[in-house]
Amino acid sequence: MSILLAVAVGLLFAIGLYQLLGTDLLRIVFGLYLAFNALNLLIMAIGTVPGRAAPFAQLPGPHVDPLVQAMVLTAIVIGFGLATFLLLLAARLGHERQTLDAERMTRWRH
Amino acid sequence: MILPWLLIIPLAGLLGVAVAHRSPIAQARLVTLMSLASLGAGGILVAGRPEVVTYAVGGWDAPLGIVLVADDLSRLMVLLTGCLFVLVTVPHGGPETPGSSPAGPAMTPLVYPLLLLALNGLFIAGDFFNFYVFFELVAVSSYLLVAMGRHWPLEAAWKYSAQSVLGSLFLLAGICLLYGRTGALTMSEVAMRLNEPAAWVAPCFLIAFLLKGAVFPFHFWQPDAHAAATTGGSVLLAGLLIKVGMYGLFRMWPLLMGDSHRWLFLWLGAASLLFGAIAAWRERDAKRLLGFSSISQLGFVLLGLGWGTVTALGAALFFMVSHSLAKALLFMATGCITDRAGTTRLARLEAAGKELPLVSAAYLIGVLSLIGLPPTGGFIGKLSLLHEGVRLGDGVLVAVVAGGSLMTLAYAIKAYQLLFWGTPCAPLPGRAAPTSMVAVAALALLVLGAGLLPGPLWGLCYAGAQQLQRPLAAVDR
C-alpha cells in the first residue's frame, strides 16, 4: 500500500512539474494543481496506517492520526484557492493579450 | 496577552473595510487606524522584553493546540511591519490611490488588512502548519497587491504567483515530511525530536524561502513585481514581503539544520550580491533598478546567515531592517516623482525631482544607507557584518562585500544623479501630496535614527540572534 502511494505521489509530482516547462498558461496552472494534489496524497500517506480505524470516537481500537486529516483538508482548500486564483489571472491575461501562449504574449508587448 | 490582538486588530480592520465599501474615505481612515493600532500592539509586545511570550489559542496547549510565540525576532518583525504599514497607509491606503485596479476600487483597501493579518500571524506562528497557512496568506495578498498595480500588472502578477506557488508547494512538502519523521508540528517540539540536522528537508525550505526572498537564482519575478505595483505596493513588497523569505530562513535554518550546510548561504549571498548589483547598473527603469538592488542587498543578509555566529546573525538582522527602511524610503521618494510624471523610465525622468528638495534629500539618505555610509542604519549593519567577516578571517568574501558596496555606490549614485541633477526637460505635472511628504520625511528620520542611535535596534537584533542560536529555549514555552 505505502509503495503504491509513494509511486503515485512521485509520478503525480513529476508530471505536474514537467507541465511547468511548457509555455501554455493553462498547462502551467494544471501542472501546479496536479503537484498540489500529489502533496495532498503525500500528507494522507503519512497518516495512513493499514488496519487502523478511522478517527471517530465511536469506533474501537487504535485510530489513525486525525491531525493529518485536518491538515489535508486545509491543504486541499488552499491548493484549490490558489489554482482558482491562477486560472483567473491566466484568463484575464489571455483576454488582454488574445493568447494563452507565454511566448506570443511577450511578442504582443513589444 | 497582547499576542492575539495582533490578529484581532487586522481582522476587525478587514471586517470594517468590507462593511464600509460605499465610502472610500471611511475605508482609508479605518485602514490607517488599524495600522496605528497594530503598531501600538507591536510596541507593547516589544516593551514586554526579554521573555519569550506564548499564547495557546483557545486554551489548548502545545501538543494538541496551536501556540502563538513571540521571541525577539518576532518582536522585531512585528514592529517593522507596524511601522511600514502606518507609513504606507497614511498616504496610499485611501481613495487617492491612483490608478483603478482591475478588481474595482472597492477591493483595493481590503488588501491592507489582509496583508497585515497574514504578516503578523506569520511572525508569531509557533507551529509549522500555521506558519504555512500564514505564509500562503501573505503570498495571496501580495499577488493581489501586484495585480492591482499599474505597469503591466497582470503579467507581473502572473510571473510572481506562478513561481511563488511553486515555492509554497515545496514548503508544504517540507513541513509534511518533517511531520512524517517527527510526528510533531510545534516548532520547539520538532526541534527537540530531531536528533541530527534535518538535511533531507532542507532543499524544500530553501527553495520556498529563496523564491519568496528573490535571491539570485530565484529572482525572476521580483523586478517586474516591483515595477508593476503602485508606490505603496512597492514599499510593502520591498520592505516586508521579500523579507518574509529571509525571516523564514532565519527562523528555520538554525532550528532544523543547526550549523550544518551554512556554506550554501555564503555562495548564494555572494552570487546574489554581485548579480543584483550588475543588473541594477544596467537597468533603465527607476523602480526595476531598486528591485535589482534589493536582490543585491539581500546577498549581504545571506552572508551574515552563512557566517552564522551570533554577531553575524545580529548584524544581518540589523542590516535587513535598515535595508527595509531604506528601500521603503527610496520607493516612496521615487513614487513622489513617478506618480506625477506618469512614467518610471529613467531616460524620461531626467532631473524630474530637481524641484523637490525634501524628496531629493530623502533619496540621498536612502542611497547612503544602501551603500553603507554614515550616518545611516546601513552603515552600522554593514560595518558589523564586515567586522565579523574579518574576525572570522574570510578574506575572499570580505573582498566580495567591499566590491559589492562599490558597485552599489556606482548604481545608486547614478540613479540619484539622473533623477535629481541636470536640467529638467519639463516641470512635473500636479503637485506634491502633503501626506506622502510626511511619510517620506518620517522614513528618512527612521533611517537616520537607525544610524545615529543604533543601540535599541541593535539590542533587539542581537537578542533575536541569540535566541535563534538556542532554538529550543527560544520557542519553548
Q: What is the pLDDT of residues B112-128, one digit of tens each?
A: 899 999 999 999 998 89
C-alpha to C-alpha distances, A5 to A43, B15, B158, B477, nearest whole angstrom: 11, 42, 32, 37
- Quick check: B84 and B432 in contact, CB under 8 A? no
Burial code of B270-284, b = ≥16 C-beta within 10 A, e = fewer? Answer: bbbbbbbbebbbebe
- Residue B135 in grid coordinates: 505564509
* Nearest C-alpha in A relative to B185: A67
Question: For the residues A72-95, what does the mean pLDDT come to?
Answer: 91
- Residue B128 in grid coordinates: 509549522
Distance from CA of B180 to the nearest CA of A (A): 6
> CB–CB of B158 and A90 under 8 A?
yes
Q: Is B185 on the interface with A (CB under 8 A)?
A: yes
- Partners of A67 on chain B (C-beta within 8 Å) are 185
Least confident range of B41-45, B212-216, B340-344, B468-472: B468-472
Of A35, A42, A89, Cβ closest to residue B161: A89
Question: For the residues B241-247, what does the mean pLDDT come to?
Answer: 93
pTM, full prediction = 0.92
Q: What is the pLDDT of residues B150-167, one digit of tens each?
A: 778 888 899 999 999 999
- Quick check: B110 and B148 in contact, CB under 8 A? no
Q: What is the pLDDT of residues B53-107, one digit of tens each?
A: 888 887 777 667 788 888 889 999 999 999 999 998 887 655 444 444 444 455 6
CB pairs under 8 A between A and B: 61
- Residue B306 in grid coordinates: 552563512
Please give the pLDDT value at position B62: 67
C-alpha to C-alpha distances, B267 to B214, B261, B276, B477, nearest whole angstrom: 15, 11, 14, 36
Please give the pLDDT value at position B99: 43
Q: Confirm whether the ipTM is greater than 0.90.
A: yes
Please give the pLDDT value at position B105: 52
Please give the pLDDT value at position A35: 93
Of A29, A82, A89, Cβ closest to residue B154: A89
Q: What is the pLDDT of residues B162-187, one digit of tens each?
A: 999 999 999 999 998 899 888 888 88
Residue B136 — pLDDT band, cuts 50, 70, 90? very high
Q: Is B137 on the interface with A (CB under 8 A)?
A: no
Q: Hey, is B444 helix, strand or coil?
A: helix
* Nearest C-alpha in B relative to A85: B140
Q: Please determine, for residue A7, whether its predicted confidence score (pLDDT) is greater than 50.
A: yes
Mutation target vs A (from B176, B177, B179, B220; most A CBs, 10 A cutoff): B176
Averaged pLDDT of chain B? 86
Of B152, B165, B176, Cβ closest to residue A42: B176
Question: For the residues A14-35, what does the mean pLDDT come to?
Answer: 91
Burial code of B243-266, b = ≥16 C-beta within 10 A, e = fewer? Answer: bbbbbbbbbbbbbbbbeeebebbb
- Quick check: B475 and B188 in contact, CB under 8 A? yes
Question: For the residues B10-21, what does the mean pLDDT come to?
Answer: 89
> CB–CB of A74 and B166 under 8 A?
no
Distance from CA of A7 to the nearest CA of B (A): 16
Please give the pLDDT value at position B104: 47
Q: Please determine, for residue A100, whether its predicted confidence score (pLDDT) is greater than 80.
A: yes
Residues in CB range of B55: below 8 A, 6 or more apart: B1, B3, B4, B67, B68, B69
Residue A32 — pLDDT band, cuts 50, 70, 90? very high
- Quick check: B370 and B378 in contact, CB under 8 A? yes
Please give the pLDDT value at position B192: 82
Q: Which 92-121 residues of chain B touch chain A by CB within 8 A?
A: 102
Number of neighbouring beta carbons within 10 Å of residue B195: 7
- H-type helices in B20-58, by residue range? 24-47
Q: How far is CA B212 from the centre of its chain?
A: 10
Q: Is B165 on the interface with A (CB under 8 A)?
A: yes
Question: For the residues B420-443, what does the mean pLDDT come to?
Answer: 82
Closest CA to B251 of B135, B148, B332, B338: B135
Per cent of chain B over pLDDT 90 is 43
Quick one: residue B231, left, alpha or beta (phi over 0 = left, psi -120 to 50 = alpha)?
A: alpha
Mutation target vs B (from A43, A64, A84, A108; most B CBs, 10 A cutoff): A43
Q: Please determine, for residue B470, whether its predicted confidence score (pLDDT) is greater than 70.
A: no
Residues in CB range of B174: below 8 A, 6 or more apart: B201, B204, B205, B208
Distance from CA of B158 to the nearest CA of A (A): 7
Q: Is B166 on the interface with A (CB under 8 A)?
A: yes
Please give the pLDDT value at position B473: 39
Residues in CB range of B195: below 8 A, 6 or more apart: none
Compute the distance between CA of residue B198 and CA of residue B257 in angstroms, rounded to an integer: 6
Question: For the residues B320-347, what does the mean pLDDT come to?
Answer: 88
Residue B351 — pLDDT band, cuts 50, 70, 90? confident
- Partners of B147 on chain A (C-beta within 8 Å) are 89
More confident residue, B358 or B59: B358
Please give the pLDDT value at position B63: 67
